[in-house]
Structure 1
Amino acid sequence: MIKWVKNITVIASSALILSGCSIFSSEEDVVKMAELPEFQATYKPVIAWSTSIGSGVDKYYSQLQPAVDEKAVYVAARDGEVKALSVKKGNKLWSIDLGDHKSNTANRSARLSGGIGLGIDTLYIGTENAQVFALDAEKGDIKWLSNVSGEVIAQPVYDNGFVIIHTSRGELTALDSKTGEEVWTLANAQPKLTLRGSATPSISQGGVIYGRADGYVSAALLESGRPLWQIPVARPYGATELDRLADADMKPIVVNGTVYALAYNGNLVAIDLLKGELLWTKKYAGYNDISVSGRDIFLTDYRGYVFAINRNDGEQRWVNKELAYRNVTGVTVANDFIVVGDAEGYLHWIDRESGQFVAQQDLDSDGLYIEPIATSTHLYLQTRSGDLIAIEKPILNVE
């Protein structure tokens, strides 16, 4: 059985506990994965290079994602292998296996899961073993190792000498970026039942903005952890704990002083960052990260529908329903297009103005679990089986 979907997935208006199994456990199941869309391609994506980065994430739930700077692409596999690759050709610059570290002697593996956070000449990587590693970005040497209160499933985020960690216990912790010592911790109440995952925080204007498992989006001071405001994106309701799932399980996006956030079984909202006031709210439900570009918010909901929404007022511009229940990733913007991956390993290219498909790539038979990282020239996609694929970014149409 497949272990990599969210542990709890809503099907229509009801919910199903997965406990690590696929929602598509038999041909007679409650929902049916949409057939692969058929269309006349109008764009041909170009793969610049690809390389293996180890065993990947296997069939486990993971938020591991590459990090990129002008020097290298940094990637990690769940079992502990971390590599730096050249941006142009994917040549290995250095590698280290954190599974060999003495701290993991009693663990099944390094269980890297929290993505790669990029600081000043330093990489920060979280683990399901409740650890955070800091690695030298140039050589791969371990600078420090810090133990935290719970699994680090979300990506660590660096800013102004702090590394912000959001643990599976709902605690927000600031570590000193040079030493790994705890500076402050902000505890939050956790519901009895939550989705498998934690929201990666965002940092803007001296504040840390993050989604919580109880359906709130909150802000705290970066320097001290003092709470600033909290706004419900979803309010738990229903007769059972399952009905009351309300995780705000995605990374909030901050653009020009406005916070955009989405909750599972909840809403899409826009919040004034400084005032902590709700600007507008619309009924959408999902757990993947959203993207904001120009006037638009792009998101995928729990059914696999893809939406374009005006970020100024929350009005829907278009919806594409052809990827229903294909266990899609979040959305990455690629100039005139957006891309979305799915559980069968296809990367779908969609025109951002019309919502129509323009291209399709079959990239990994084991499936895609997270959206690509975009730079000015390339998309970098980490696949479930452990490949890193660099795809040329299409030229922006300026007409």
Structure 2
Amino acid sequence: MKKSLFLLLLSAVIIQGCSNARPPLPELPKLANEVDLHKDWRTGVDGDFGETSERFSLVAKDDQLYLVTDQGTLYVLNQQDGDVISKIETQYPASSGVALQGDTIYFGTYDAQLIAVSLSDKSVLWEKSLSSEILAEATYAAGRVAVQTADGWLSVLEADSGNTLWRAKADLPALTVRGTSAPAIAGGLVISGFADGQVKAFSLESGEEVWAYAVGKPEGRYEIERLSDVDGRLVVKDNVVYAVAYNGTLVALSLSTGRPLWQRNIASAVGVAVKDDLLVVVDMQSKVMALNAKNGTEIWQNSELLDRDLITPEFFGQYLALMDRAGFVHLLDVKSGNIVARTLANEIDVPPGSRMLAKDKRLFILTPDEDVTALTY
């Protein structure tokens, strides 16, 4: 492994453990906006959104927006104007975002608890103690909730009661990136990425392992060179699983068999975005690349935002949205990759507390300054 990549990995791991040690961002290129990207509304809430990562998630359903803060307060906001529809205070400080099913919302804690809350009754239905802290949101399907904990356990629980149905364990390497991948459920399978670089699929019903594929392949003399975590969110679309590993492999796998359909040597610590036949990935240096989702061939790339600590891309109407550590949101033309607009969503000097979420003509973001912001154009 080249020395430059080694130093890049070293700095990334240090950043995970010490957010205040981040280097200053490079200057942005001048831009005359071609699109009127602007703030639609901003709502203050009673807490932040965890550590400096995309650990928290937003859920948009109908005309409402659901979220939890690190104080364990659940919010239901009106998507149109940001007004608070409902606020539920719990005694469980949250460590990850939410999953929603019907009237029930689920979130995890640093104390290894998965919490289920009734939105209508504003009460905790159950709490389940697991084996380690929960660093990514749970996933619901068919009356079951899947969640991965920081120690490598994947657990599937009864959604109504919290009773454990089955568990599966992946061995942790000596050194890992702090974080976990959120499980995906599709085709009767639970698919999860692990710190050892494996993506595995299990039967939702029985927990039997159906297939496994080594997306990350640890290589190098030093442990830090051998980091192979699959921490970015998995995307499942049209019976294909898209996953990316920390050490530089982006792969498309058959959902049913785990067979690789194509793969590229691209390193990324965040997830990918897929829409129609277009896949967008941000590499470790914040270079943005668009690939054909069917075969992995490159369509375009953009290097204007290098080293600005971009988070997971999000398709936003006819554009692609990218947010950097300084709080700027950049809109890219999906056909060319050219930047067409930029606006400051909220001035910060750490990465946003959540992935962005686009719904209709609004882009929702949680930022670590106790705000929820909606952008529009």
TM (norm. structure 1) is 0.88
When structure 1 is superposed on structure 2, of 195-204 and 37-46 the one drifting more is 37-46
In the alignment of these two chains, the number of paired residues is 369
1:39 aligned residue? 31
Q: Distance in 2 between matches of 1:62 and 1:372?
A: 9
Given candidates 130, 138, 143, the residue that maps to 2:125 is 143
Q: Return the offset for 1:365.
A: 1.8
Cα distance, 1:25–1:273 mapped onto 2, change above 3 Å:
closer
1:217-247 deviation digits (Å, cap 9, x = unpaired):
1111111211110111121011121111001
Q: Tell me the SS of whatever aligns to 2:226.
A: coil
Q: Return the offset for 1:165.
A: 0.5
1:383 aligned residue? 367
Given candidates 68, 73, 81, the residue that maps to 1:76 is 68
Gaps of 5+ in 2: none
Gaps of 5+ in 1: 1-9, 27-31, 105-109, 395-399
Given candidates 18, 21, 25, the residue that maps to 1:21 is 18
Q: Return the offset for 1:11.
A: 6.0
Q: Return the offset for 1:24.
A: 5.2
When structure 1 is superposed on structure 2, of 209-218 and 359-368 the one drifting more is 359-368
Task: Please say if 1:350 is aligned against 2:342.
Answer: no
Q: Distance in 2 between matches of 1:366 and 1:266?
A: 28
Please, what is the CA RMSD of the aligned residues? 1.9
Per chain length, whose mean CA-contact separation is higher, i.e. which structure has more relative contact order (CA < 8 Å, sep 6+)? 2
Q: Tell me the SS of whatever aligns to 1:268.
A: strand
Task: Please say if 1:238 is aligned against 2:238.
Answer: no
1:397 aligned residue? none
Given candidates 286, 289, 296, the residue that maps to 1:314 is 296
When structure 1 is superposed on structure 2, of 13-22 and 202-211 the one drifting more is 13-22
1:374 aligned residue? 358
Q: Distance in 2 between matches of 1:11 and 1:97?
A: 47
Identity of aligned residues (%): 29
Q: Letter of the aligned partner of 2:199 in structure 1?
A: V
Q: Distance in 1 between matches of 2:101 and 2:136?
A: 16
Q: Letter of the aligned partner of 2:83 in structure 1?
A: N
Q: Tell me the SS of whatever aligns to 1:114.
A: strand
2:168 aligned residue? 186
Given candidates 70, 85, 90, the residue that maps to 2:82 is 90
Task: Indicate conservation of the 8 Å contact 1:11/1:303, yes or no.
Answer: no
Task: Indicate conservation of the 8 Å contact 2:320/2:333, yes or no.
Answer: yes
Cα distance, 1:185–1:58 mapped onto 2, change above 3 Å:
closer
Q: Return the offset for 1:71.
A: 4.8
Q: Letter of the aligned partner of 1:389 in structure 2?
A: T
Q: Tell me the SS of whatever aligns to 2:126.
A: strand
Q: Distance in 1 between matches of 2:53 and 2:60?
A: 22
Given candidates 335, 351, 368, the residue that maps to 2:317 is 335
Q: Distance in 2 between matches of 1:271 and 1:198?
A: 20
Task: Indicate conservation of the 8 Å contact 1:341/1:371, yes or no.
Answer: no
Task: Indicate conservation of the 8 Å contact 2:42/2:374, yes or no.
Answer: yes
